[in-house]
Amino acid sequence: MSNMSQSVPFPESVSRISNLRIGAGAIGLVLGIFAAIGLLTQGHESFNTNSNISWGLPVATYVFFVLTSTGLTFVASLAMVFGMKDFYPIAKRCIWGAIATLVTGFIALGLEIGNPLRMIWVIPTNMATSSPMWWMGLFYLSYAVFLVWKFLLVNKGDWTSGQSKVIGILSFVTVIFAHATLGSVFGMMGMRPFWYGGMVPVYFLITAALSGLAFIMLFINLDYGMNQANMSDKVRSAMTRYMPPIFGLALGLVLVFTLTRTVTGLWSNVPELNIPMSYIVGTFWYQAEIWIGMVLPLALMLSSYRSNAKVQTLAGLLVILALFIGRYEYVVGGQLVPMFKGAWYDDLLMYAPSMTEWGVVILAAAIGLLLYAFGEKKLSLADAPNE
Amino acid sequence: MAKWGMVIDLEKCTGCQACSTACAMENNTLPGESWQDVLYYKEGKYPNVNIKWFPRPCMHCENPSCMHVCPTKATYKDENGFVLIDWNKCIGCKYCMIACPYGVRFYTDEKPLIEPDMKKVYPGQDGQQYSPPYQNPNSDWTKGVGIQPKGVVSKCTFCYHKVSKAPAGVADLDEDNPALKEYVPACVRTCAPKARYFGDLDNPDSTVNRLIADKRGVRLLEHTGNKPQVYYLGDHGVVPAFTRPDKS
Amino acid sequence: MDILKSLITRRRFLQASGAAGAAGAAGLGAAGTFTTLKKAEAAPASSGGTTTITKSICHQCPARCGIDVYTTNGRVHAIYGNSDHPIANGKLCPKGHLGTFILYDPDRFKGPMKRTNPKKGRNEDPGFVPISWDEALGTIAGRLQNLRDKGESHRFALFYGRGWGASCAGLQGTFGKLYGSPNVAIGHASMCSEGSKRAKQATDGNDSYNAYDYRNTNYLLIFGAGFLEAFRPYNYLMQMWGHMRTKSPRTTVTVVDVHANTTTAAADRALYIKPGTDGAMALAIAHVMLTEGLWNKEFVGDFKDGDNLFRTGQHIPAGSFAEKWTSGLETWWNEELKDRTPEWAEKITSIPAKYIRDVAREFGSTRPAMAIMERGPTAHTNGTYNGMAIHALNALSGALFAEGGLHYQMGPSYGSMPVSADDYMDDWAKSGAWKSLPRIDMAKTERWPTAGTMMQEAGPNHLKGDPYKLDTAMFYLTNPIFTAPNGQVWEEAMKDVFVIDTSPYGAETAMYADIIVPDHTYLERLQDAPTYPFEGWPMAQLRVPAVKPVHDTKVYGDILIEIGKRMKGPMADYYKAIDSTENVLRHLAKGFEKDPGDNGVNGFESWKEKGVWYKKPYHWRQWRGDFYEWDGKGYNKKMTADEVKAKLIKTASGKFEFKSAFIEKHADNFSQKLGIPAERIGLIQWVPPKHTGGGDLHFVTPKTAMHAEGRGANLPHAIAYQQPMHGGNRTVYLEIHPDTARKRGIRNGDKVKIKSSVGSIEAYCKYFEGTRPDTVVMPFEHGHWSTLTRWTQNRGSGHSGHLTENVSDPISGLACYYTGTVTVERA
């Protein structure tokens, strides 16, 4: 078994971006703590969520990041589970990215729920197996264990031992179920037609994949200074030959999914589906999501510029933003119609995240970013098995 | 064992909200934390306006979606049909609030409906979310009775602290019976037009069963499949579909 | 009574359940909450003690429902209706339960205080400093004595609102008599519901609201009474509603109002009438009842030859109709009613003639059927006439004193006061110069000859110095600086008056107060309260303290008595003899020894235990055109016409008068004010309202079910439930018809400016299809500007009274709160 790392050049531009990233993470951390200070002084009163809009920006953020983690694991698994060796050069990065985004997601969630520490004992002692959320917790926890385990093995250079392979497979399998149960958390809610549907896990699967791919497009290009000259041949090959079509394909599928959901909502007579969708379509953010966040990057991926590192970085960033908007629209959109509130709330509920909620998001994202930066500096993320 | 249920006669209900305030004081809820609420709906054009209202306690469903989604079994259905929350188990994930089709659940770690915030005027003590000086001495956090701690979800308990002490085998808890009035839920007890009835849905002799049969009782939002144990009488027991109000 | 013995204490529970919960809560819990409250106020109720139930009486509206007050370890924690109380029957309205909060309201005054800031105004902090009761009472007595010594005792006025009984408001008249002021005391009735009382006084001779037999009625025709929101006794009305709507036969209900509310929605028929025109509709109903032969012939009488000669537009021959218990029908028909067709009324009221005819036929052909009304029709310049026209329907249907009809309330069998004030009158009291002076409000003078009281005039009159200037004003359960029409004038008027406020709360009067002598809240009081008009038979409730006073307060009756004791001369002796309100109550209760109540109450102690004395039945009944009196077993004693006149129909004629001698007594006065020929003035007739305010939209300000007579404004829960139909849970919304709003460029939910000739306020609006397009409606509730109560402030809507011109019905004196017009524009 060979544990040798491929050495890559490490020019100025790369270390500048790396430093910028650490700087951004540190600033984000400070900003996040500052903004989230309301949480310490006022508790969840500092959130704009309430008894009617119960899940707001932090939950959307959680969904966004844990599904990104899912997507990154998918990409890593292409190599490590399905043996597609061309993806090995970015696999370790993907695993570490999956860990960082998973941590980000869980920080956002942990700061959102009322008694997070209590979960440690009440969830295992009560075995609430009828709850999709319980299963989601089980699978995400297992996934987190396998993911870290796998990374530790890879970090030791153990890419292909029997144990390493099994753990890789387990992390892939658990994340498939994890994201599916996350989808079910929403999709099983028959009383909320905006969310409801057996296809939601599939919708989450495809958006998760896109989310992971978009992060790769953004982060790996940034890692190499948005310059393919800095990449090893194999990385360059992965990023120019394989990633653009996969990314484009996933983006196309997500665009179709988004449009069909939109059209279904607009066409439907069901008020809980039709009214919030009509409202959402009329917002700037929805239009930005579709045109700038999906159509434009798709066009870029269809053009001959798709292999250009800077174009890829831009496309990745735009898709990330679009997906984030999408998660927010999905999570909040399902709650816009008040549930049997009479004249007290006679219109769509209004919600805009508070400073503290943004603070939670910034804080979680900053921690994720710093975690990734740490890995990038210290954990030789460019490693790949010797062939 | 009983299967406690409620009947609300919309023909008699005057929409006065005494049920709501009786509940608020009995259970020391915060303004806006309406375990029991009265919901008004308006349709029609002048001069033909159709105004409906629905008193809304927790429905204590036979098949409660809130319970099924709870990741910690904090929400549970007890053997007498109460749907309760164990505040020692609740992690405050609010999934039950998402899943309740009747909007009966509250998370009071939120911006206050009425300023100044009662939670600041009467700061919480002994772990309570807030501690007003006029508290009901009954408190049982494993049943969601009393003033909740922070970070948990609260809702109507069918006045568990009263009903659970009722003599066994009683068919109806009728507030007009002096021997039973202390066991009657606050909202039922105070209802001036006697639009509310509370009794055992498993007991063939109960008034609630009789009323449901004679007056063709309905359950609200039946399509959600939750099968409420609260029935409504009257020919207008249909919740109007959501529409946005005329804006301009 | 020990009801719930085994209680889990919170502390014990926490120990049992381990630290996990607490740790979880602490993990994210809000650490820094701020309060300036005293520890005692914030301490949670300790648990595990014995629960006692005190029988007392609610205070949040005039109805006086019996309440069970639950107290554990000295803390009140629940209030329910008293099952043994005839009004409450174990039930309460939404306000009743909130009494616990009134008791523990953190904004209550903690004890007597005096003002240190001599400047008065909205933005002036009174700078109150605590003083002792001795200093407070001494200051007041000294000031009063000084006035009296100067021969200016008339310059002391005592204003009161909800007088409860002999132990509070009942003491005031004596105080005025002994002290020597025509202005002790001036009640608030003219700012309340005086119109319906005057309409009844003018037609059936009773200066009173009615008692009603809802239990047995089969038809209710309700004119602007807010039956399911603001009529009283509200709790009992709702009990009766449940009964009426499910009994056999079901009581049919038609509601006439200016906007849709829960009453119109719950009724069988809702008719939205142009404000102030209810009288025209009532006249048209009467017209149809007569032309179609639907009047009650046993009560009213009939044509001598039996043929119905009432034909639209045609006179009936003189002497052709033989009246029984009414008088003036012939003149009424010939001079007024013959042309009052539904088609005529449609033009005035906007109610389609077809519906008026339908209502008339239903009302005329259903027995018993009664027409009820309150401020909707009567708070207008033509209010008394509107009220008379409506009340005339009760005569035509024969509902007066009938089963399922209307009665008048009997008083309780009280004992006499400990001593008689007549024995304590000095010369000044007997014949001082004050005796010849008018009241500051000019009630019962040529200005307002038939008004019992004109509180709304007192402030403006003082400002003008007409008839004179006040020196000192004391307020008991009234707050005219806020509630009077165009109260802004009072804000100016009270600047140079020494103001004594007795309220436990810091309302606007307190902002102007020079001295605060806070009353107990009702759960701390010992106080009698004979029933408001209810079912007719006599009843006297007693407020019994559920807890010791939470703060250093004193019951109002004792405040008056203590001031009296500090005066000079025989007045002080009188109050020393009176001693205390408890002594007064003990003497009143002696009356029950001779006349024990149905519930066994036969003295003070049993009264205190049960909280109510009552004695059924009502003593009189009109049955098929004859009057009978209760003889102890049944309505067996047939009454003579003279007995009926003495006891029931107290008009000059002893009959229900379609042509009112009461009004004719002041024919010239009213003729001049109303522009009606003197010879017609007594007729029940259509008089067009004179709308005030100078706007293009009628402005109506009803009270909601949560409106606790001014005691609800600082209750967070009451605020949160204030206007359920429109989602008013922080503010109250202006109801506006969408077309009306659009024409003015106003969007649903916009903040609007509402202007009249006397003021301008802001509020948020809600489109409502149930409001007449020519009318806007905003509940009278918010807009308090006192800075002494925290929850009343910043409620997002102004005070409707600031738009109301101070114009009153010349006959009743009722302030015309609902006759104003406004303009509305986007703010």
DSSP A108-138: HHHTTSS-GGGHHHHHHHH--TT-HHHHHHH
**pLDDT computed for residue C245 by the predictor:** 95
Q: Is C436 exposed, middle or buried (0-12, 13-18, 19+ CB in 10 A)?
A: exposed
Structural domain includes residue A44: no
Q: Which residue in B102, B117, B245 is closest to A346 by CB distance?
A: B245
> Where do we find the tokens 């239990």?
C215
What is the structure's pLDDT at C16? Answer: 35
State mean pLDDT over B58-74: 97
Nearest to C507, CA basis, from C549, C480, C535, C479: C479
In a domain, C81, yes or no: yes
Residue C787 in any domain: the answer is yes
Torsion angle of the four alpha carbons C83, C84, C86, C88, in this order, in degrees rounded to the nearest 10: -30
Chain B residue closest to A131 (CA)? B69
Residue-level pLDDT at C42: 32
Candidates A109, A42, A346; CA nearest to B95 is A109
Establish if A26 belongs to a structural domain. no
C629 part of a folded domain: no
Q: Which residues of B touch C29 (CB under 8 A)?
A: 150-151
Question: Closest approach of chain B CAs to the CA of C595, in angstroms?
Answer: 27
Could you tell me the residue range of the domain that residue C49 belongs to?
10-23+35-104
Count of domains in chain A? 1
* Amino acid, res. A225: G
Measuring CA to CA, which residue among C536, C289, C553 is closest to residue C395? C289
Per-range mean pLDDT, top range of C127-131, C705-709, C713-717: C127-131
CA distance C261 to chain A (A): 14
**Burial environment of residue A269 by CB neighbours within 10 A (0 to 12, 13 to 18, 19 or more):** exposed
Residue C492 backbone phi and psi in degrees, to 5: -80, -40
- pLDDT exceeds 60 at position C262: yes
Residue A1 pLDDT? 36
What's the number of CA atoms in the CB half-sphere (13 Å) around residue C479?
A: 22
Q: Report the C-alpha gap between C601 and C320 in whole angstroms.
A: 54
Residue C326 belongs to some domain of the structure: yes
C539-543 and C527-530: which strand pairing? antiparallel
In terms of domains, do C176 and C279 share one? Answer: no
Closest Cα to residue A361, out of A35, A17, A52, A72? A35
Is A107 inside a domain boundary? yes
Among all residues of chain B, which has the CA nearest to that of A125? Answer: B72
B197: helix, coil or strand?
strand
How close B212 gets to chain A, by Cα (Å)?
23
The pLDDT-based confidence of C540 (bands split at 50, 70, 90) is very high
Q: Is residue A17 part of a domain?
A: no
Determine, yes or no, domain membership for A9. Answer: no
Q: Same domain, yes or no, for C162 and C270?
A: no
Q: Which of A48, A51, A188 sits opposite B107 (nearest CB)?
A: A51
Residues C279 and C369 in one domain: yes
Q: Reduce the DSSP state of residue C360 to 3 states and report it.
A: helix
How many CB atoms lie under 10 A from the CB of residue C302?
17
- CA A46 from centre of chain: 25
Task: Give dist(CA C411, CA C531) in Å, integer.
Answer: 8
Q: DSSP letters along C117-185, please? A: ----STT-----EE--HHHHHHHHHHHHHHHHHTT-GGGEEEEESS--STTTTHHHHHHHHHHT-TTEE
- When CB atoms are compared, the residue of B24, B91, B133 closest to C104 is B133
Q: Kindly state the average pLDDT of the residues C646-671.
A: 97
Spatial CA neighbour of C751 closest among C763, C761, C759, C741: C763
H or E element in which residue B77 lies: strand B75-77
Whether C204 contacts C656, CB under 8 Å: yes
Same-domain check for residues C63 and C139: no
Element (H, E) at C57: strand C51-57
All domains of chain B in start order, with CATH = 4-233 (3.30.70.20)
Cβ-based neighbours of C656, under 8 Å, separated by 6 or more = C203, C204, C325, C326, C327, C392, C395, C400, C649
> Quick one: pLDDT band at residue A10, thresholds 50, 70, 90?
low
Say if residues C409 and C308 touch (Cβ distance below 8 Å).
Answer: no
For A158-228, where are the alpha helices, taking DSSP H only? Answer: 162-187, 200-223
Q: Which of C104, C130, C150 is the last residue of a domain?
A: C104
Q: In whole angstroms, give the CA distance from residue A194 to residue C389.
A: 57
pLDDT for A256-275, tens place per residue? 999 999 999 999 999 999 99
* Average pLDDT over all residues of chain C: 93
Which is it for strands C751-755 and C760-767: parallel, antiparallel or unpaired? antiparallel
pLDDT grade, residue C19 (50/70/90)? very low
pLDDT at residue A171, rounded to an integer = 94
Residue with tokens 């030791």, as numbered in its chain: A156
For B133, the token pair is 């000086």
Beta strand C184-187 with C156-160 is parallel
The CATH number of the domain holding residue C272 is: 3.40.228.10
Q: Which residue of C has its CA nearest to A115?
A: C24
Report the pLDDT value the prediction gives residue A13, as an integer from 0 to 100: 72
Quickly state the pLDDT bin for A386 (edges 50, 70, 90).
Answer: confident
CA distance A25 to A376: 13
Mean pLDDT, all residues of chain A: 93
Q: CA C762, CA C826: separation in Å to the nearest integer?
A: 9
Among the candidates C60, C79, C104, a domain finishes at C104
Q: What CATH number does residue C14 fall under? A: 2.20.25.90
Q: What is the pLDDT of residues B96-112, one digit of tens each?
A: 999 999 999 999 999 99
B91, A122: Cβ pair inside 8 Å?
yes
Instruction: Give me the mean pLDDT over the A86-95 stretch.
Output: 92
By the 8 A CB rule, do B229 and B3 touch?
yes
Whether C248 and C356 share a structural domain = yes
pLDDT at position C24 is: 34
Give the range of the structural domain holding residue A249, as residue numbers without chain letter: 49-351
**Per-residue confidence at C45, pLDDT binned at 50, 70, 90?**
very low
Alpha-helical segments (H) within B77-181: 95-99, 118-121, 160-163
Apex CA B13: angle with CA B7 and CA B15, to 5°?
125
For residue A160, give the CATH number of its domain: 1.20.1630.10
A neighbour chains, 3+ CB pairs within 8 Å: B, C
* Average pLDDT value for residue range B214-235: 95
In this structure, is residue C625 part of a structural domain? Answer: no
Give domain status of residue A29, yes or no: no
pLDDT tens figures, A138-195: 999 999 999 999 999 999 999 989 999 999 999 999 999 999 999 999 999 999 999 9
Amino acid identity for residue C336 in this structure: E
Distance CA(B178)–CA(B180), nearest Å, equals 5
Cα–Cα dist C246/B234, whole Å? 11
Query: Could you identify the residue written with the tokens 């889990």?
Result: C8
Q: CATH no. for residue C485?
A: 3.40.50.740
DSSP string computed for C578-637: H--HHHHHHHHHHHHHHS--TT---SHHHHHHHSEEE----SEEEETTEEEEE-SSSEEE
Task: Write the CA distances from C412 to B9, C317, C556, C596, integer angstroms.
Answer: 37, 47, 22, 11
Same domain? C457 vs C550? yes
Could you say which of C56, C81, C104 is where a domain stops? C104
Mutate to test the interface with B, among C69, C91, C746 (most CBs of B within 10 A): C91
Pairing status of strand C626-630 against strand C620-623 = antiparallel
Query: What does DSSP assign to residue C233?
Result: S
Q: Does residue C526 form part of some domain?
A: yes
User: What are the residues of chain C with a beta carbon less than 8 Å away from any beta carbon of chain A?
Assistant: 20-21, 23-25, 27-32, 724-727, 729
Tell me which of B8, B9, B11, B17 to substitute to probe the interface with C (most C C-beta atoms closer than 10 Å). Answer: B17
Mind listing the pLDDT tens digit for each residue in C468-487?
Answer: 999 999 999 999 999 999 99
**Cα Rg of chain B, angstroms:** 18
Q: How far apart (Å, rounded) are the C-alpha atoms in residues C825 and C736?
A: 11
Domain-located, residue C628:
no
Same domain, C66 and C123: no
Q: Has residue A92 been placed in a domain?
A: yes
User: Does the pLDDT value for residue B153 go beyond 70?
Assistant: yes
Residue A152 host element (H or E): helix A132-155
**Partner residues linked to C326 by β-bridges:** C656
Q: Tell me if C632 is assigned to some domain.
A: no
Say yes or no: C551 and C429 in one domain.
Answer: yes
pLDDT at C48 over 50: yes
Beta strands in C197-347 (DSSP E): 211-212, 219-223, 252-257, 269-272, 301-303, 321-323, 326-327
From the centroid of its chain, how far is CA C729? 24
**E strand or H helix that includes residue A308:** none
Residues 299-358 of A with CB under 8 A from C: 342-346
> What local confidence, expressed as pLDDT, does residue A78 receive?
93
Residue whose C-alpha is closest to residue C732's, from C776, C773, C770: C776
Where do we find the tokens 């990215």? Answer: A97
Return residues 342-381 of A near B (CB < 8 Å).
342-344, 346-348
Q: Looking at the structure, do residues C368 and C311 belong to the same domain, yes or no?
A: yes
> C38: Cβ–Cβ under 8 A, 6 or more apart, which residues?
none
In a domain, A149, yes or no: yes
Q: Are residues C400 and C423 in the same domain?
A: no
Amino acid code (one letter) for C754: I
Long-range contacts of A204-208 (CB under 8 A, 24+ apart): A204/A67, A204/A70, A204/A179, A204/A180, A205/A70, A205/A176, A205/A179, A205/A180, A206/A250, A206/A253, A206/A254, A206/A257, A207/A67, A207/A254, A207/A257, A207/A323, A207/A326, A208/A67, A208/A68, A208/A70, A208/A71, A208/A74, A208/A179
The total number of structural domains in chain C stands at: 4
Is some CB atom of chain B closer than 8 A to the CB atom of C721?
yes
C486 and C595, same domain (yes or no): yes
Same-domain pairing of C313 and C382? yes
